[in-house]
Amino acid sequence: MENHSDSSGYWKANIRLIQGCLVVWVLCSYGFGILFRPLLAGIKIGGTDLGFWFAQQGSIGIFIILIFFYAWRMNKLDKQYGVDEE
């Protein structure tokens, strides 16, 4: 990082990425698994309703996907700001 504005932009992008991932995770785990479960009750997946699936397995699967997405996106962000590992 060459100057303060690059550092500031890097951290703003990083925080924005974290916030986006957290919103997706909360929506999938709390929203689909608890709040919106009655709306998803008619959709069957694996012998149970979609809301139950999100509460039991979907939120964990989404969390794992978000970990890989975050790592991939941070690698791109690091390269963009010149702080990547070589």
| Proportion of the chain above pLDDT 90, given as a percent | 38
Q: Which domain holds residue 41?
A: 28-86
Domain-embedded: residue 81: yes
Domain-embedded: residue 50: yes
Computed over every residue of the chain, the mean pLDDT equals 86
Res. 3 pLDDT band, cuts 50 70 90: very low
Domain-embedded: residue 59: yes
Domain tally, the chain: 1
Which of 2, 5, 57, 7 has the alpha carbon at shortest distance from 29?
57
Res. 73 pLDDT band, cuts 50 70 90: very high
Domain-embedded: residue 73: yes
Cα 13 from Cα 8, distance rounded (Å):
9
Domain-embedded: residue 51: yes
